[in-house]
Amino acid sequence: MVSTSLENEDESREWSPDRPLVETICGLNFRLLPHLTGPTIGLFWNEMKDEFPSCRSMPRLHQKKIVIGPVPEPRIWLLDEAEKRILQLQNDSLLLNWRRSRKDDHYPRFSKILEDFRTYLGRLTTFLQDEKIGRLSPTGVQMTYINQALYPDDVSKAAYLSKLFPDIAWRGNEERYLPDPDNLDLNTSFHLPGDLGRLAFRISSPVKPMSWLAAEGLAVRFDISVSAEAKGQVELGEIFEWFGKANQAINGAFQDLVRVD
């Protein structure tokens, strides 16, 4: 069973390797910049190589499978040496991922991740101005926490899911025509107050566990994300204020939806 929550507002609380967190993502979507092409992103990477020494070309985010006309510009991953931090850039999005590669990895805390994202966004903004590519016009923001919990050997998967997520109860303690379900793919969303946007909660089960979590067996993955559209002209200060509120919403949702020991 998961032993603690993701992270509460008191960031001085000690990090535990038993937490289910495997990855965090914060991102900004902006109006498409046609001149922010693959080669131009390469120039930006040259300025970032000290922190992100390698890069990869990846399929574009939010891209339909069938494309008519010119091939869209790719998404580029910039990776740090340990490949724990990934700065993702395409011509309408900037995202920063922190991902866990070992059980004893120490989560750098939300405040540090947000500080880094602010720095990289500032460097991208300066680069776009210097290269006369254009200015960032935000269209939306997003934040996601990805988690995995390993299924124990001594209880059924359906019973464990019912215990981990109290709002999903499988009546496994009585005779039934159907056996326990083989898999679960649940998506639900909640409208958040004010202009915070929507919170999405997704459960995917079973999945292959992260290699550091277990060499074999199965796990359940559950993601909590918050996203919002930008209304009109939005200042960067408002964006980073939103990230703070989104982080609180994700932590609140975790406490509300996930049962921990």
pLDDT by residue for the chain (261 residues), tens digit each?
343 344 444 454 455 667 899 999 999 999 999 999 999 999 999 999 999 999 999 998 875 555 454 557 889 999 999 999 999 999 999 999 999 998 888 889 999 999 999 999 999 999 999 999 999 999 999 999 999 999 998 888 998 999 999 998 887 677 889 888 889 999 999 999 988 999 999 999 999 999 999 989 999 999 999 999 998 888 888 999 999 999 999 999 999 999 876
The reply to whether 15 falls in a domain is: no
What pLDDT is recorded for position 176? 84
Most distant CA pair in the chain: distance in Å? 69
Which one, of 241, 230, 228, 240, lies nearest residue 196 by Cα?
Answer: 228
116: left (phi over 0), alpha (psi -120 to 50) or beta: alpha
Q: Residue 135: inside a domain, yes or no?
A: yes
For residue 5, the model assigns a pLDDT of 42
Q: Is residue 215 one of the residues assigned to a domain? A: yes
147 DSSP β-pair partners: 21, 222
pLDDT of residue 152: 92
Contact 163, 1 (CB under 8 A): yes
Classify residue 253: in a domain, yes or no: yes
pLDDT for 220 equals: 96
Please tell me the predicted confidence (pLDDT) of residue 62. 73
> Domain total for the chain?
1
The pLDDT value recorded for residue 161 is 93
Identity at 114, one-letter amino acid code: L
Which residue carries 């740090």 as its tokens?
80
Token pair belonging to 137: 């016009």
Domain range holding 224? 21-257
Question: Is residue 3 assigned to a domain?
Answer: no
8 is a domain residue? no
Task: Report which residue type is found at 72.
Answer: P
Q: Is residue 6 part of a domain?
A: no
- Domain for residue 35, yes or no? yes
Closest CA to 128 of 54, 40, 210: 40
pLDDT at 261: 67
Residue pair 139/115 in contact (Cβ under 8 Å)? The answer is no
